[in-house]
Every structure is written in structure tokens, then in C-alpha cells.
Amino acid sequence: MANKVYTFKIAGPAGLGIKSIGQLFSKILIAHGFNLADYSEYPSLVRGGHNTYQISFSLDKVFAPHYQINAFFAINPGHWQQHQSEFNSKTLIFSDEENPESGRMEKGIFYNLPLKTLANEIGSPLVVNTISLGVAVYLLGFDLNLTKEIVCGFYQKFSDLNSRAIQAGYDYAQTNFPKCKLDLKTKINPKTDQQLYEGNESYGWGFLAGGGNFYAAYPMTPATGALHFLAAKQEAFPNIKVIHAEDEVGVANMGAGAAFAGARAAVGTSGGGFALMNEAVSYCGVAEIGLVYYLVSRPGPATGLPTWTAQGDLMHAIYSGHGEFPKVVMAPGDIDESFEMGYQSLNLAAKLQTPIIVVSDKFLGESSASTNNLSKIKVKIETGDIETKPSQNYARYKFTPNGISPLTIPGTPNGQFLANSYEHDELGFSTEDAQVSQKMFDKRMAKNKLAIKLAPKANLFGNNTAKTLIISWGSTKGPILEALKDLPNKDDFAFLQIKTLWPINPDIKNIINGFSNTVVIENNGTGQLVTLLKSQFDFNPTKIHLRNDGRPFFPEEIIKLLK
């Protein structure tokens, strides 16, 4: 029998450590043998407002956070109100108010948790989050000593204060909420190899594993996590250079310079910044510079919803850069694939000598999940066709059948060439000759064929004889797989996760044509994957389910849509 998934959620104003307490809770869960997936919501401001953090955990793998909450903690009075649709009759709601206005509470069981009073007894109003955690730890029957050890490691300077806060919450719950204790029906079995990563961090670990040594960015939510992560890694990895440049145009062109000078380079941004990078994408296309663009989407247009999620930049990525040139667009579906694409993108950039775009989004980039220790994974580093001893008549852009011409790195004797933004001949010098122009264009475009061969293949979950094929890409993978766990008629479904969105592998058509019913699920407003597939072959999905309100799909919602 599958193990139950529990979902806890904490909410309150920004600045009260909602996210950090959530991450601490995650560490405690991992230490007690749980797998988890989390999700946080926060407005684009630094103090006040309403922040939430929720976490779904189980002894089985959890692919995505659930919508329905088992235990809810409001660290300020009233912060539960807008979440009532997430409650059911058994939801435990803890809040610092004696009697929530009668009639307002529609579902769930309310408990008064006097956070302010308890915090004052401890001597700091800031520990309301940690006291709530103490209650959660009691509810789950967790080991208090192990918990305190983790809390102390996490808070270091304030470990005594937070240790007392945990104890206070735990004691209060033991005295007042003994009936709320959850019966997990499982033997706790600590395993220590699991670690918690945000998508942006796991991408960063993949970049490092893949020998990435130059990363430039201009802060933009939700891609900034990768910049922070890699900037902080410069001490431990002295060979990497992480640059916060003057603007995204500078970032992209600096990245091109770095890659041209021999670096395994990537640049990171969200949709608006990527718009500014477009001209440089085109330059890397024509000059055959292998640069990786890590594009973490948020809802547009323009500044849009900065701290929310969407898959609205698929076409933007595919059609990025003026003119026609080969590129690869790929999208990780979860934390592990963020890691994989972190290094695969660098390998592809080196081998294909062209722009490689990794499309993630806020939901994946800023949510955490538990997985193996990524810092220990060794991967294959592929450097592509590098010419170290060029002959006197070396030609950087030599016409070759597969479009790949051996590349020299500045500093190599006899390897001089011009990385030209104008159309050029085999040496890189400008040309306006009709024949050479056509031939050079064709040479570059030949790389698309190789790209199809080398880029990540689609994942097909479930069996080929299922009635219906679900088709999606990117971060919707988690909610879809989580939904398929609980769907009563799950054997009726197979799921195709398209990992490489450009160029489209012809196998995808064959897979899709093997099913008579197809359902596309996308976290955007117009169904960009549908548009893309229609441009490739005769495709008429039976149903299209879209969500474009800044929120991700939750598994419960997908179950409803598929039933």
C-alpha cells in the first residue's frame, strides 16, 4: 500500500521567516526519513503582505505539493482566512486568536495557539515561526533531540533561543493538543543521503558538475537563486567566475565573450531579461558560440507577476534571436532534471557550438524537493570538437557535413579567426557572396539534425496501450505524476513529458500518433506546446487544460480534470 502524503502549511507576513522555517522543517522531515516537495508563495515586497510555505511529505516519493492541507499554522491572526478552499473537515488550523469570528471558519478544526504570549515568555517576538515548528514536530511524533540538533545547526548564532522556542511549541502542543497527534503508522527510519534542493540550486550543482566556469546574470526573480547560489560557490570552486553585470545585454554579450575565450559559460535571467538578451542569442547563433541561457520564467507580459509562476516563454525561447539559426530549447521537469540539464546544456553548447536554452519557471526554480546528494554526482564532461594544433590554413567555419567545424580557443598558435556577427566565409571574414551565404546558412542549420540526436529524449510514463496520453513539458511533470499516483483509473493514462522542445524529435509524432486520446496540460494561457506540435505535424489534441493565474497546477486539480 502506498504511504500517505501529509501537507503542512504556514502563513504570515513577509519578514517573519516563513520560508526559512519551512526549509528547516524540510530538513527535519528528511532526517526522519521522509521525502518531500515544497512550494512557497510571496508577494513582490520585503516586509508585510502574506507569505506562505507548504510542504507535502511521505515515506514514498512526492512529486509535487498537494493543495489540501492537513495542518495549517497562521503565525499572525487571520492569516488562515484566504486559504479555506485548501481545508477539509479534518484540517487542523492553529492560529493566535481565541475565537475566530464565528461563521468565518467554513471547514476544519480550529485551535488557539498563543504564539505571541509564548514568544514573549521566551524573550523574542521573532520566534513565532519556530514555536509553530515545535507544534508540528509534536504532531508528527518526531524525535525532539534530533530536531533540536538540526535547529541548532540551522540557526547557529541564535541556536539557544530557537531551541527553547521548539521546546515551548512542543510542550504547549503536548499539554493542549494531544488529540491532534497524527498516527503516521510508519517506523521512522532516518536515512541521511537525502538532501533538499531548490530547482535553481540543483541547476547550479549541475552547472558545476558539468565543468561550468563562467556564470553571469542581472538579478531578476525567479532566476536570482542560481546567481546567489553560484556566487557563493566561488570560494569552494576557485575556477569559476560569477559576474553580476550592468544589465542583461551586458550579461549576454559578456557570456558570449567568455564562451568565445574558452569558458563553459551560462547566463541566467527571467523573461524580461531574456528579451534584452535576444540580439546576443542571434549573434551566438551566427558566430557559432556555444552559450547556455538559463531562463526561469514568471508570468508576463512585461514585469507581470514577478514572484509567481508560468510556462509562458516557450515560444519566446524557441523564436529567440532575429534571423534563422539552430538552437536547442529544453526544459527540466523536476529537481533531478534541473541538475541534469545544468551539465547537459554545457555539453550540448560545447558540441553544437550554438545557443542552448534551459527553460525553467518559478514553480520549479524556487520550490525545493529532496533528492540524492547532488554535490557528489560525477558526470561526463564533453568538450566538443576542439582543435589544439591547427595547421597554417586552419578555417574555423570549415564546411562539414554535420555542420560542426573544429574550434580553436584564443591563445592557440595558428588558430586565429574572426567570430563574426556578419555572414562570413570559412575563415570568419565578412562575405556578401550569394553562394557562400547560402552554404554557410545550410552548414549551421545542419546542426539541428545532430541536436535531435544529442538532446534529451522525451519521457514516456505508463504503457503504450493506455486509453489516453497526457502531454506536457517542464514543471507540470510533478503535479501530473503526483496526480497519477492517486487517480482511480490511472491505468487508462500514459504521460509524455517532452524534455527537448526544440528541435522537435520526429519520434514524438510517432508516440503521439499511437494514442487516440490526447490531453495537453500547460501552465500558460494559450497552449504554446499545442501550437508548437501543430506546427510540426497533424496534431489535434482531444483536450487542452491550461492554467495562467500565476499558480501552478496541484495534483488534486489534475485528478479532477482527468477523471
Partner 1 sequence: MTNNFRSNITPTWCPGCQNYLVYAALQKNFADLKINVDNLIMNYDIGCAGNMADFFKTYGAHTLHGRSIAMAMGEKIVNPNLTVCVIGGDGGIYGEGLNHLVAAARANINIKVFVSNNFLYSLTTGQTSPTTPKGAHTKSTPTGNINEPIHPVELLKTVNQEIFVESVDVKDIPKLNNTIKRALEFSGFALVDITQECVAFGKQLK
* Residues of the shown chain interacting with partner 1 in the complex, contacts defined by CB under 8 A: 213-214, 216, 241, 243, 245-247, 249-250, 252-263, 265, 279-280, 283, 287, 410-422, 428-430
Shortest CB 224 distance to partner 1, Å? 19
Shortest CB 288 distance to partner 1, Å? 12
Contact status, residue 472 vs residue 529, Cβ threshold 8 Å: yes
Measured from the CB atom, the residue of 241 and 449 that comes closer to partner 1 is 241
**Residue 105: count of CB within 10 angstroms of its CB:** 17
Per-residue cell: 372? 540524492
Shortest CB 341 distance to partner 1, Å? 22
What is the spatial distance between Cα 437 and Cα 201, in angstroms, rounded to a whole number? 42
Q: End-to-end alpha-carbon separation of the chain, Å?
A: 22
Measured from the CB atom, the residue of 420 and 523 that comes closer to partner 1 is 420
Measured from the CB atom, the residue of 77 and 250 that comes closer to partner 1 is 250
Q: SS3 string of 76-130?
A: CCCCCHHHHHHCCCCCEEEECCCCCCCCCCCCCEEEECCHHHHHHHHCCHHHHHH
Residue identified by cell 589544439 is 388
Measured from the CB atom, the residue of 441 and 461 that comes closer to partner 1 is 441
Q: Where do runs of H (alpha helix) occur along 177-247?
A: 199-209, 224-232
What is the spatial distance between Cα 228 and Cα 205, in angstroms, rounded to a whole number? 12
Measured from the CB atom, the residue of 160 and 247 that comes closer to partner 1 is 247
Contact status, residue 486 vs residue 514, Cβ threshold 8 Å: no
Tell me how long the chain is.
563
Helix/strand/coil for 281:
helix
Shortest CB 225 distance to partner 1, Å? 22
Of 317, 261, 259, give the one whose Cα is nearest residue 289. 259
What is the spatial distance between Cα 147 and Cα 25, in angstroms, rounded to a whole number? 9
Shortest CB 64 distance to partner 1, Å? 38
Measured from the CB atom, the residue of 38 and 288 that comes closer to partner 1 is 288
Shortest CB 327 distance to partner 1, Å? 17
Dihedrals φ, ψ of 300, to 5°?
A: -100, -160
Measured from the CB atom, the residue of 286 and 558 that comes closer to partner 1 is 286
Instruction: Find all residues with CB under 8 Å of 90, minimum gap 6, and list them.
Output: 70, 108, 109
Shortest CB 393 distance to partner 1, Å? 12
Per-residue cell: 502? 526544440
Shortest CB 280 distance to partner 1, Å? 7
Shortest CB 252 distance to partner 1, Å? 8
Measured from the CB atom, the residue of 166 and 254 that comes closer to partner 1 is 254
Measured from the CB atom, the residue of 415 and 478 that comes closer to partner 1 is 415
Contact status, residue 307 vs residue 320, Cβ threshold 8 Å: no
Helix/strand/coil for 410:
coil
